[in-house]
Structure 1
Amino acid sequence: MATATARTAVLRTGTVYAILFAISSVHLLNDTMQAVVTALFPVFKDSLHLSYGQMGWIAFTLNMTSSVMQPVVGYFSDKRPMPWMLPIGMGLSLLGMAGLAFAPSFMFVLLSVVFVGLGSAIFHPEGSRVVFFAAGGRRGLAQSIYQVGGNTGSSLAPLMTIFIFLPLGQPGAIWGTLLAAAAIAVLLRVVPWYRTQLNEHGKPLKKGKASGASAGVPLTRRTIAFAMTLLVLIVFARSWYMSGISNFYNFFAEEKYGLSVRAAQVPIFLFMAAGVVGTFLGGVLADRFGRKRMIVFSIGGAAPFALLLPHVSLGWVYPVSFVLGLIIMSGFSVSVVYAQELIPNKVGMASGLITGFAFGMGALGAIVLGHLAEAWGLTKVMNYSSFLSLLGLLAILLPPDRRETA
């Protein structure tokens, strides 16, 4: 009863767009700082003479600290929300940005990346709870607004490589400290509102009877566990594939098409920029047509383009990468909302499992693909990794959500 009362109170407040756009802007700044790490790869390769395998370890360290720690933070913040941790997390990211600018060796780079990752791990579960309070009755739209900020930040990596890090080199990372400072400034305005919501409504999701994905048709614990496991596996496979695109496709494009370092960033930017649009549209369409349908569409629709991408001529690389990013990311924010509705008494942990653990465990892909690229060559790695998208078809086995059963 307490859970239902809290949820009803939140729904009656309506959608608070000012807060949604504020927390989305912080998400943008946070994920831009994470993108700085990837954007520095071509610079690190020359300045620190790193191998593909070492760059895989950098990506792994970033994702393990920023993502896999999220469900842990979410578990504890579900019990005791901590608004003040939001600016503190950004402070850790600020230290990481400063470290990247002056890191003299591979190990110092890893240490700096840990600070950036921990700041992100602290931000995401609390940020998801802010979105819950501000969403009102438009959960899909609210999560999309929030996620669009993060995806936009991630998509800036190729542009930062072209316009900042290639001209300025490693010291250019010091500009990332301004991103952290801006995020802290915004959060100092969000935190009082967030604290007020906690005082008025209590924790957004207190312990109560599990309702599952479909309102009015309770799911058993076994069904919920099966669905969450399946969902984590789907996001895991998608993140392995996207790890290959974001970390290594530029090197593949240089080898196969003879592109310059700058030109090889363009397909990655198109893929990520299209993903921003897809994330927003997916959330809006999911509110209308259902969460599961959008998840299945995002995987089934993307698989043919993923299989085609390594084989097309240069002229087709650009439209194929754009359409692929648009479709495959249309199910990302929807997956988060679906997970939250499966275990509605644990918003932070559900968000952490999908945006954190499942997506972060895909960081293993950066290491595996990096070492395989050294052993087999990038062409084989790109060809084989494209089949990962087919694992997403397991989404067909997910239980229907509440819009499909209505």
Structure 2
Amino acid sequence: MIPNSPISTNRISSDIDALALITEPGRPYTRRAFTPLFLEGRKWLEQAMREAGAVTRVDAAGNLVGTIPGKRPELGTIMLGSHSDTVPDGGRFDGIAGVVVALEVARALRDQGVVLEHTLEVVDFLAEEVSIFGVSCIGSRGMSGTRPAEWLARESDGLTLEQGIAQVGGDVRLPAQRDDIKAFLELHIEQGPVLQDQQLDVGVVTAIAGITRIEIIVDGRADHAGTTPMGSRKDALTTAAWIALGVEELGKALASGAAHFAATVGEFEMSPNAANVVPARVRMLIDARAELRDDMERFVDELDKGVAAIAEKTGVTVSEPRIVSDNPPTPCDAGLLDVLDAACDSAGARHRRMASGAGHDTAWMARITRAAMIFVPCKDGRSHSADEFATTEDIALGAAVLLDAVRALDVKLQETG
């Protein structure tokens, strides 16, 4: 137990351990959306929600929702939660910690005999991770009315996404977008080392970074690797390497400011990919993430200029960088950030404000309501890995922060609407 708090570290630890056992044999921790194991985890969560006093349902978008009616339901809903699906061989805390903490907040209120004025809901969003259909945040996009209609026809092994949503209990024929949610809060492990390195307990997330992916094609010329003189080659790989180094240099320059920025050459394909052939073609995909839109626009502009300069220097043809996808950053609600800061102070949590470089369901919920999130430390920043780890004590302190924030919001939202 946390001193002077109804939050139970034992319950949190037990919940996380129980879900960790629901995994593919020999593959900790793998419980992907739209699989029988995912449904088994959902069944466990549904029972836990009911034991906490919630009425459960699967909404039209396939999200598992536990509802605890407030004294004045007309005031609307305060929602807490995250996701229970994992990446393959992923972590036992990513998403799971946020769902368990939401559940623990509901239990702590029950233990105190507290019934909020607002309705409280605990949510397990469907498929936050990239799913078998190649898309992510399916549940939160559905709840926020931002899931593209064409996604429903996407197929995997003969199953469409529409059918997959039906299999988990959803129904895409029914309306899923909500207009009654007055605030949404999500706890998540940081997935980075900042809190650990700075010996802090909580990160109050200011924004979810925008993600832009950019494709570049380098067209050189295939030649014999042993007979073509070094000065006569049009080596696509060498040119691509210069570009990759330029991306790193530009990314570091933008990351040196106060706002979050990161850029990675995450996909790299070379052909003909033979030991005795000068590389003829390279396709590279850049993943760039920015807290501030101005930083992303500067990155794209400088990348265009840098690629053109490298192509001129090497004499190799390089396509103009093509933006494949472009999602703007999502700022968290300023009022909720103040509430979370105050809740950290009340819980005795050492904290700082910081941006998220990863995407989260919070970004989609922000389209329809006030939304914010907090981070708790994870060991060495490791995530999407079986080595992912967060201490129960850190997670429980984050739960105490959310509990205090929920109680404060229950009052504040009555004043602000």
Q: Which has the higher contact order (CA 8 A, sep 6+)?
A: 1
Normalising by structure 2, we get a TM-score of: 0.26
Normalising by structure 1, we get a TM-score of: 0.27
Q: Which has the higher strand share?
A: 2
Q: Which has the higher helix share?
A: 1
Question: Considering only CA atoms, is the larger Rg found in Structure 1 or Structure 2?
Answer: 2
